[in-house]
Structure 1
Amino acid sequence: MKPPVTARPWSLSRRLIVSLTVSLGLLWLVAAALASWAAVHETNEIFDSALQETAQRLLALAVDDIDDLADRAEDDGFEAEDTIPLPGHDEYLVYQFRDRNGRVLLRSHDAPHDPFAAPLRHGFTDLAGQRVYTEPAPDGKLVIQVAEKQAHRYRAMLRGLISLILPLLLLPPLAGLIIWRTVARGIRPLRALREEIASRGGSNLEPLPEAGLPNELTPIVRDVNRLIERLGSTLEAERAFAANSAHEMRTPVAAALAQVQRLGAELAGSPQQARIHAIEDALRRLASRVAKLLQLSRADSGVAVTSESADLLPIMGLVIDEFARIPGYAGRIDFDPGASDRLAARIDIDAFAIVFRNLLENALLHGDRARPVTVSIGSDRGIHIANGGPVVAPDVLRRLTQRFVRGNTAAEGSGLGLAIAEKILDQAGGRLELRSPATGRADGFEAVIRLP
């Protein structure tokens, strides 16, 4: 079975910028090609018109003066001459006056002595490297041919095209910059909305603002606000259920435990004493399991999230004092607050008490009883809880925060304490780090609370 194909992430702004820039570039290329074609076509028409006008003007001016040349050309030994003996200069247009037989009667000084290869009929003719226009006189006795070098025409058209296209080369990068600025400005409300949605969670269920948003985003904001409202109602219902369940379930278990303890006192020294102690231990384990399950329920309902900051040092002191009064735990906790006289964080104080109590209880239950459990606050505001004991294997260490997963230990436990602590810290924006061996030791286990 082939693995599912996951869609690659893509950027809306980048796609818009690239698409618009490429589309505009293609349109620019098409427009430049059409403009170049039109410029070349119009330039050729202008040059052809210049050839035609020159031929017609020269023919009109010179037809009377050249008639005698046409008559004298009948004599043998006639040679064509320049119209006027001017000093040599570059001529873009050259001409030849020819009779009906094709002989050259008169030419410009740059024109060749030999007749042009163009036929003596009206119109344009393309020769090798020349464009020739032929215009016959009305009586047909005289013909003028005006020629222009194609290289001159190509140079003129090239200069025109360069002057046309060169400024347009700035258009694509300038258009890309304008498109980038426009798209960035256009999606600014979308980015602001994304940040607003990202900031929402159990700790902030305020509705998203609709003011200043474009019409395309307003329906999305309204739907998200309705979802946030439903989420808030659900979280409140689950929190109320967890609180009510804690009260309803703890009371019967505590009452049963009290009755068993009273029964044990009344039957002290009787053969039933051992059974009563077994029932008492079972009820204690049940009470502990109920407490863990209720803590897990509260963690799942988002009990950790809050918008207010609280000082956590007094909470830590209360929990440590609570364990210090339990037989078997007295004297085993070494607390070092460091230089901190206040440890403020945005987390519900009851939720933090659950986290700290579970981690401290985990260290006391599974740590080496001959070595103290150290609780310290680092310079990075991390709360370090370390205990002695064998090193936990890396694969086991990675799975310890899963529900009902326990390490290789014979101590009692439900396998929920670390899962509850990680869940609550994730909700509050913090994290739980597990290390083995402990920092600065060759063995042991360490849990680090990274506060939000």
Structure 2
Amino acid sequence: MSDPAKKRPWSLSRRLIVSLTISLGTLWIIAAALAGWAAVHETNEIFDSALQETAQRLLPLALDDLDEVDEHDGRAIDDATTFKGHQEYLIYQFRDRAGRVVLRSHDAPADAFPASLAHGFADVDGQRFYTEPTADGAFAIQVTEKEAHRYRALIRGLISLIVPLLVLPPIAGLIIWRTVAGSIRPLRAVREEIAARGGSNLQPLPEVGLPSELAPIVRDINRLIERLGAALEAERAFAANSAHEMRTPVAAALAQVQRLGTELAGTPQHARIVQIEDALRRLASRVGKLLQLSRADSGIAITSENADLLPILQLVIDEYARTPENTGRILLDTGSLDRLPARIDIDAFAIVFRNLLENALLHGARGRPVRVALAPDRSIHVANDGPVVTPDMLRRLTQRFVRGRTSAEGSGLGLAIAEKILDQAGGRLELHSPAIGRSDGFEAVIRLS
């Protein structure tokens, strides 16, 4: 069963766009349905009114025409219906009390309409009739309209309401998307500003141009950043001051212990003096790492000038190669490069390379060589023999005070310091185990900016 906490986070903009589009579409459908119902009702009323008005208008005209009809012998009917043919939506018949057709429009049939002569509206055989009799009931006029014509008009009106439903939702969705995207743009900007903050960048977030709903949140975040910056600064100052204050006493104590060891050489106490000396050396190394860490936190790597790092590389290698336990272990391959330009402070780079080389010498297989190679892309590879480091441990090695499974001495700070400095200089540190192109070992790669 999946953990609800690991589900994909929902998107505010997507939810707003979908909700508003569906809501507007639903409201449009409801409005179109109500408008369609009202259009049908109003259209029927208009057509019925047209039938009634036509009948009432034609009735007096038909009565006047009766004076010209010769005893209703039908000749006047033929004469009255010899107009040029054209389509008529409304047709009529003027009938007497007996139901005979006295006058009719040219499209009207010669036979009497099937509707009765009762006053008012009637629906017969798919036609809508309106009958208007004279005051004495001697004659009546009937006007009719085919319901098919009325239905066509109604359908055209409904189509004009329905067709926009196919076009407006996508357009409304696009408008909503652009509106929502523009509205949450400040939120995205704040998110990017927060993502850019870290231990080396605790600048306050910009508060200009923010909506009123977001401005209080940014102000609270800035207060939190300010408190965090003060806490980190106090921690760094404590670490740096402590390391600096401890450096001289530790060096003095180590010198005294070494002198004491010389004086007690050959005595039973000499072994204990050697143990104390080793402990003081480890303490001095830890103090040195803390000083490097404080320098890395202060942004030592940032510079605007390029420097040739190859001499620094060779100088550090010579420094370690002169020690008896490392003689002949460090193999340098500069490839085709005679220069190694990069935009990083040379002291900062020396700290990075010294930590990686020291890490390889301490934790690599005892007596086996450490290979330092320069690639054509100016990357620096430091590889050593040894067992494979697990992927989980490999990901954690750049965290402070984290050490792999090794019996060698170490503070767990070297790789963290190296990654911190390279990140400041725009480069990066890559760790591989097994080493690149091998089935065992460990390799650290410096990617310079």
Q: Size of the alignment, in residue pairs? A: 442
Separation (CA, whole Å) in 2 of partners of 1:225 and 1:399: 30
- Give the CA deviation at 1:132: 0.4
Q: CA offsets, 1:423-449, max 9 Å, x none?
A: 636964765433233224454321223
Partner of 2:63: 63
The answer to whether residue 411 in structure 2 is matched with residue 412 in structure 1 is no
Match for residue 255 of structure 1 among 235, 252, 261? 252
Partner of 2:234: 237
Amino acid at match of 1:36: G
Change (3 A) 1:342 1:365: same
Partner of 1:48: 48
Match for residue 189 of structure 2 among 189, 192, 199? 192
- Give the CA deviation at 1:242: 0.6
- Give the CA deviation at 1:90: 3.6
Change (3 A) 1:136 1:427: same
Separation (CA, whole Å) in 1 of partners of 2:56 and 2:393: 104
Separation (CA, whole Å) in 1 of partners of 2:315 and 2:384: 20
Partner of 2:108: 111
Partner of 2:420: 424
Partner of 1:17: 17
Change (3 A) 1:306 1:59: farther
- Give the CA deviation at 1:398: 5.8
Separation (CA, whole Å) in 2 of partners of 1:321 and 1:217: 57
- Give the CA deviation at 1:360: 1.4
Partner of 1:26: 26
- Give the CA deviation at 1:142: 1.3
Match for residue 375 of structure 1 among 372, 375, 385? 372
Separation (CA, whole Å) in 2 of partners of 1:149 and 1:72: 29
RMSD: 3.9
The answer to whether residue 124 in structure 2 is matched with residue 127 in structure 1 is yes
- Give the CA deviation at 1:148: 0.7
The answer to whether residue 326 in structure 2 is matched with residue 329 in structure 1 is yes
Unaligned runs of 5+ in 2: none
Amino acid at match of 2:230: S
- Give the CA deviation at 1:384: 1.4
Segment of structure 1 superposing worse, 131-140 or 240-249:
240-249
Match for residue 431 of structure 2 among 390, 412, 434? 434
Alignment check: 8 A CA contact 1:295 1:354 kept: no
Q: CA offsets, 1:135-163, max 9 Å, x none?
A: 11100121221111111122233334445
Amino acid at match of 1:202: G
Separation (CA, whole Å) in 1 of partners of 2:165 and 2:36: 12
2:434 aligns to what SS in structure 1?
A: coil
1:328 aligns to what SS in structure 2?
A: helix
Change (3 A) 1:366 1:405: closer
Alignment check: 8 A CA contact 1:203 1:307 kept: no
Superposition pairs for residues 14-413 of structure 1, below 5 Å? 14-66=14-66, 84-86=80-82, 88-162=85-159, 170-288=167-285, 294=290, 298=294, 302=297, 308=303, 311=307, 313=309, 316-337=313-334, 339=337, 340-345=339-344, 349-350=347-348, 353-392=350-389, 403=401, 405-407=403-405, 411-413=407-409
- Give the CA deviation at 1:305: 7.7
Separation (CA, whole Å) in 1 of partners of 2:53 and 2:188: 66
Separation (CA, whole Å) in 2 of partners of 1:291 and 1:176: 62
TM-score by length of structure 1 reads: 0.81
Amino acid at match of 2:342: L
- Give the CA deviation at 1:413: 1.7
